[in-house]
Amino acid sequence: MRHALHIISSGKQPLATVRDIIARIHPYIDMFHIREKHRSAHELWEWAQGITAAGLPEAKLAVNDRVDVALACHAAAIQVAYHSLPPDIIRRLVPNKQIGVSVHTVAEAEAAEAAGADYVLYGHVFASSSKPGLAGRGLAALQETVESVNLPVIALGGITPDNAAEVLATGCAGIAVLSTVMHATDPVLSVQRFQQVMQGIRVSPRCAWPTAKRERIQ
């Protein structure tokens, strides 16, 4: 079983830039999350259309918090905050989507599992530029979460190629990255470095991410 690599939009780049990055990295990632809280439903739909036109399969597309947009653009997954609609309610509306919940504690992860989530996004593990001034929750808290639920746990927050191995050693299903890839001078090289770490890790995920085959970067 291999680990998954999720990439999340930063909310600070225009669609044209994101499309260019996606066109180059999409074969080597497992999921791309459109996380643009400041954009309208129409803008998010345009983003989804542009990103899939750049080559990202719908099976690798997640939309954050907008069930309507996810349905309209045939995204494979919906990522919601812990305080958003519960997964079991969302599933009544869109029964064929993966539903992920962003969590910060074991209790939140357990509640998400009980409500029918398919996976959880746990963060933030380390201090991160997207959460300035907030200390990371650490590897021990991540591992406790991984061991507390029977769901894939994707780790988020301050993860780099230099610390990814210790994150994956917790048994999490994979990692999610924002600026380390999306704001990199060479996004392909950044993805390559993450994938090299993943290919070398010997600890299997406790609950693996169900996904299509990802191309290997030699």
Residue 210 lies in a domain: no
Residue 205 lies in a domain: no
Residue 209 lies in a domain: no
Question: Which residue, among 105, 121, 213, 106, has the nearest Cα to 173 in the 3D structure?
Answer: 121
DSSP letter, residue 113: H
pLDDT tens track of the chain, all 218 residues?
789 999 999 999 999 999 999 999 999 999 999 999 999 999 999 999 999 999 999 999 999 999 999 999 999 999 999 999 999 999 999 999 999 999 999 999 999 999 999 999 999 999 877 666 677 799 999 999 999 999 999 999 999 999 999 999 999 999 999 999 999 999 999 999 999 999 999 999 999 998 644 554 44
Q: Any idea what the CATH number is for the domain that residue 18 is in?
A: 3.20.20.70
Residue 25 lies in a domain: yes
Q: Which domain holds residue 22?
A: 4-200
Peptide bond into 124 cis (omega under 30): yes
Give me the pLDDT at residue 218, please: 46
Alpha helices, H only, the chain: 15-25, 41-53, 67-72, 87-93, 106-114, 139-148, 164-168, 179-182, 187-200
Give me the pLDDT at residue 212, please: 43
Residue 213 lies in a domain: no
Give me the pLDDT at residue 127, please: 83
Residue 141 lies in a domain: yes
Length of the chain: 218
Residue 91 lies in a domain: yes
Active site members: 124
Task: Give the bridge partners for 154, in sequence order.
Answer: 121, 174
Burial string for 137-175 (b: 16+ CB within 10 Å, else e) reads bebebbbebbeebebbbbbbbbbebeebeebbebbbbbb
Q: What span, in angstroms and rounded, lies between the C-alpha atoms of 58 and 161?
A: 27
Residue 177 lies in a domain: yes
pTM: 0.94
Question: Which residue, among 49, 92, 57, has the nearest Cα to 76 in the 3D structure?
Answer: 57
Give me the pLDDT at residue 131, please: 65
Task: Give the bridge partners for 81, in sequence order.
Answer: 102
Give me the pLDDT at residue 64, please: 96
Give me the pLDDT at residue 213, please: 45
Q: What span, in angstroms and rounded, lies between the C-alpha atoms of 90 and 79?
A: 11
Question: Which residue, among 149, 140, 148, 144, has the nearest Cα to 119 in the 3D structure?
Answer: 149
Q: Which amino acid is at 196?
A: Q
For the chain, how many structural domains are there in total? 1
